[in-house]
Amino acid sequence: MFNPVSLDGAALGDSWVLDIDVRPGEVVFELDLVLLPGHPAYEPPEPGEEYCYRRASLRFGGLREVTWRLGDSPPWEDPEDELDYGNIDTLRTDGEVYELDGDWGAMRLVADPPLVDLQ
């Protein structure tokens, strides 16, 4: 049975996917990650922003299997001329199997638990 995965102090559904990189042994999602007030790195939002955004990598190491179905939506160009692939709408797990989906597509992978690296 799959269960939602929570990232402590972050709102994944409000964060933006900037890039997805499948490499030998890992999958890395580059994000503009929304930090919530309880997160140690939280700062008040910048003027004109609704949330506290921080660049981050969501890394699934120990990758043993990956299936990626591409989404139908092309990336958007944000006001800073960066590509934006939408959000990670769902992240859930059943043991070492993870399922993610969003406008960028859907991914099923067998890997170690995800790690978040703030930049």
Residue-wise pLDDT for 50-105, tens only, equals 999 999 999 999 999 999 999 888 888 877 788 899 999 999 999 999 999 999 99
Burial of 37 (0-12, 13-18, 19+ CB in 10 A): exposed
Q: Is the pTM of this model over 0.85?
A: yes
Which CA distances in Å does 40 have to 12, 37, 58?
16, 8, 17
Task: Please report, for the chain, the start and end positions of each structural domain, with discontinuous segments joined by +.
Answer: 3-118
The single-letter DSSP state of residue 74 is P
Residue-wise pLDDT for 19-54, tens only, equals 999 999 999 999 999 999 999 999 999 999 999 999
